[in-house]
Amino acid sequence: MIKRTLFFGNPAYLSTKNEQLVVNFPEENKEERTIPIEDLGYVVLESPQITITNGLLMKLVQNKTAVITCDKQHLPCSFLQPLVGHTEQTERMRHQLNASIPLKKQLWQQTITAKVHNQAGHLLKQEKKALKLKRWAKDIKSGDTGNIEAVAAAYYFQHLFDEIDGFSRNQKGVPPNNLLNYGYAILRAVTARALVSSGLLPSVGIFHSNKYNAFCLADDVMEPYRPYVDALVYDIVETGCHIDELTKSIKTELLMIPAMDVIIDGKKSPLMIAMSRTTNSLYECFSGISRKILFPVF
């Protein structure tokens, strides 16, 4: 079942009754609305004037709904996750924490190979050259000791948005960097939600290890999924709309990321479902059941 994403950009009072999320708009002349909590996968809270009851937060967490809050720049900045995301959580975390360095290096090799392949697939979709990316994807070694990820990323973005003057991938760079930042933040929340549901710790990565980063594993696992965000942003840019600011219509498009169709294991699947399959396959690698992470193919 595809879970719904709700976005609140205006002042609202959010509560719960009869297993429903109840929405009231105190400053607007609108009728009260209700949405079944079991249908919700993500709730994005942007307005600083939103009031949400503890009872509702409890039910959202129990439903494994990701509650995402935004900062003054309207970018997602926090993610509420349950303390217990899986019935075998303790055992699964132990496997994750006991993973050997050689295993982590092999998993990182698989991850970056899948990412570069998907970047190549996206460039080809946009009728741009991708032969170098395909060649580099074959040369990635255990642990990506040659740092092909960085080389491929520079080439990829240089050619993807080659018609935009002065563009380079930088969080504070020229548009559409702002769209990419927003899209990646949503993708990060999707990944963290799936990891928690699979009984894994989002903060303990296979490659990323910054002590100030609470989502190192999420940042690892989401890498091959980034080209799907890039594709959505590219389509928005191609419409010719104003992209200097994150308008409501642009955010609406980007909030569709969890429901985007991807191909995984030869079948079409919503991205959020595919992500759950990826994180579960990662657990199987940690536990020794499998040796391969399941990633989508662009």
Structural contact between residues 99 and 286, judged by C-beta atoms closer than 8 angstroms = yes
Residue 169 amino acid letter: R
Is 163 part of any known ligand binding site? no
159 is in an annotated binding site: no
Task: Residue 39: count other Cβ atoms within 10 Å of its Cβ.
Answer: 15
Question: In the numeric block, which tokens belong to residue 47?
Answer: 């307005």
CA–chain centroid gap for 91, Å, is 25
Give the span between the Cα atoms of 161 and 114, in whole angstroms. Answer: 21
How, if at all, do strands 12-17 and 50-52 pair?
parallel
Closest to 114 in 3D by CA, of 282, 287, 290: 282
Look-up of token digits 């600083």: 48
Structure tokens at 190: 């999707």
Annotated binding residue at 245? no
Residues 258/186, Cβ–Cβ less than 8 Å? yes
Are 90 and 196 spatial neighbours (Cβ–Cβ below 8 Å)? no
Residues annotated within the binding site for Mn(2+) are 149, 208, 223
Residues annotated within the binding site are 149, 208, 223
